[in-house]
Amino acid sequence: MLKLMLQREQELKSLPLLQRAFSAPFLDRRQVMYQLHLRVVREFGLPDSTVEVLQNTQYFYNRWGWNSYSS
């Protein structure tokens, strides 16, 4: 499911609205990413606390698959 969530995140990042938000100098990019992750988590019907997994995917998933130290 994490892979699907990451794919959805990439889809949303490519939207013009998100591109404008990332390029705006007065917006906090961390907050934009948090809201993006929160949207993805909610689209998958997961609790809001799951946003921490998307914020820390390097501990769970890399481009080649699951990290050896993830459970």
Q: Judge whether 6 lies within some domain.
A: yes
> Domain for residue 48, yes or no?
yes
Please state the pTM of the whole predicted model.
Answer: 0.76
Q: Write the pLDDT tens digit of every residue in 11-30.
A: 999 999 888 888 888 888 88
Please indicate, yes or no, if residue 68 is contained in any of the structural domains.
no
43 within a domain of the structure (yes/no): yes
**Residue 52 domain-assigned?**
yes
- Indicate the number of domains in the chain: 1
* Structural domain of 46: 2-63
- Is residue 43 exposed (0-12), middle (13-18) or buried (19+ Cβ within 10 Å)? exposed
Token look-up 């990019």 returns 29
pLDDT band, residue 38 (cuts 50/70/90): very high
**Domain-embedded: residue 71:** no
- Asked if residue 16 is part of any domain, the answer here is yes
Asked whether residue 52 carries a pLDDT value surpassing 70, the answer given is: yes
